[in-house]
Amino acid sequence: MRRRGPVVVGRRGPGLVGTMARTAVIAGTATATSKAVSGAMSGGQQQQQAAAQQQAMAQQQAELAAQQGYIAGQQDAMAQQAAIQAPVEPAGSSFDEQLVQIQKLSALKDQGLLTDEEFAAKKAQILGI
C-alpha cells in the first residue's frame, strides 16, 4: 500500500488548518442563516440578529486565537524537549562548539526547563569530564 503525503509524528488534534476550516464553515453557515431569516424580520429584529451574529463570530475568533496560542505553546514545548533530548556531540568537538552547547543548556536552565543537576550532567558530558 502506498502512502500519500508526509507523515506527521507527535501532532494532536485537528491542527491549525482544520480549526480555520471549521471556523470558515461556521461563519458561512451563520451568513446563510442570516440572509434566510432577514427576509422575515422587521428592521429592529434584523439589527438584533446582526448584533447577536457579530457577538458569536467575535467569540469564535477569540476561541480560534486561544487555540492558535495553545498550538504555538505546544510546538515550543516540543522543540525545547527535543533540544534537551538531542544527543550531545562528543568531547572531541572544538571549544567554540562546546561553548555554544553549554550556552544553549544555560538558557534552558534559566527558563526553568533544566534543573541544576541536569545542567551539570550535560555540561560534564559536553566537556568530556
- Predicted pLDDT at 7: 52
Choose the weakest-confidence range: 35-39, 40-44, 122-126.
35-39
Q: CA angle, corner 60, sides to 54 and 61, nearest 5?
A: 90
Distance CA 43, CA 104 (A): 63
pTM of the model: 0.35
- Nearest one of 74, 76, 78 to 86, comparing CA atoms: 78
- Predicted pLDDT at 26: 64
Choose the weakest-confidence range: 7-11, 60-64, 91-95, 119-123.
7-11
**Quick count: other Cβ atoms within 10 Å of Cβ 67?**
17
The three cell numbers locating residue 118: 541536569
The three cell numbers locating residue 127: 566537556
